[in-house]
């Protein structure tokens, strides 16, 4: 039977990808008590990296789309870790990194792509604390990377 969160994903037209394997010497997630710590998920959809440095107003939407995809990839990791997305009690925190040119200052607008997704999918439980940080470079030249802390039952 499909749970409430999975039904919401279907309503939004979102199909979760398989949770990605680590690209280096780390694990995709750690469970400690009732907290799930998810390693940074990069902007990748259908096996293709969403790459490039963000600079100027024209890139904000491309960045938001990349952040949203990171959010989808995070949800795939939540499902892999917990088995049932309805176990999520609260999205505690997101930390987003934006591959930014030195004069780019709209990192919060970019990371809204992930934040908005979590509220769409989890409702009030998706509202979270957050950091949005500019980075000189990200792995594989991706536009965005986002990590998360999730409270679960």
Q: What are the tens digits of pLDDT across the range 1-47?
A: 468 999 999 999 999 999 999 989 999 999 999 999 999 999 999 99
51/60 Cα distance (integer angstroms): 13
What pTM does this model have?
0.96
Do the beta carbons of residue 69 and residue 44 sit within 8 Å?
Answer: yes
- Burial (CB < 10 A; 0-12, 13-18, 19+), residue 57, is exposed
Task: Read off the CATH number of the domain in which 81 is found.
Answer: 3.30.1330.40
Residues 6+ apart with CB under 8 A from 58: none
* DSSP code, position 12: T
Q: How many domains does the chain have?
A: 1
The dihedrals phi and psi of 129, each to the nearest 5 degrees, come to -75, 155
Give the structural domain span for 136: 4-152
- Convert the pLDDT of each residue in 36-89 to its tens digit: 999 999 999 999 999 999 997 668 999 999 999 999 999 999 999 999 999 999
**pLDDT of res. 2:** 67
């Amino acid at each position: 039977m499909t749970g409430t969160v999975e039904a919401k994903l279907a309503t939004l037209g979102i199909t979760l990808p398989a949770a990605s394997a680590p690209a280096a010497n780390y694990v995709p997630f750690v469970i400690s008590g009732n907290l799930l710590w998810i390693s940074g998920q990069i902007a990748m959809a259908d096996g293709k990296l969403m790459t490039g440095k963000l600079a100027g107003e024209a890139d904000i939407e491309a960045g938001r789309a990349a952040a949203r995809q990171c959010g989808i990839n995070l949800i795939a990791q939540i499902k892999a870790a917990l088995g049932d997305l309805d176990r999520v009690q609260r999205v505690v925190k997101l930390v987003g990194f934006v591959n930014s040119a030195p004069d780019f200052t709209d990192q919060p607008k970019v990371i809204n792509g992930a934040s908005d997704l979590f509220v769409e999918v989890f409702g009030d439980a998706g509202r979270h604390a957050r950091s949005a940080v500019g980075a000189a470079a990200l792995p594989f030249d991706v536009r965005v990377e986002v990590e998360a802390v999730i409270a679960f039952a």
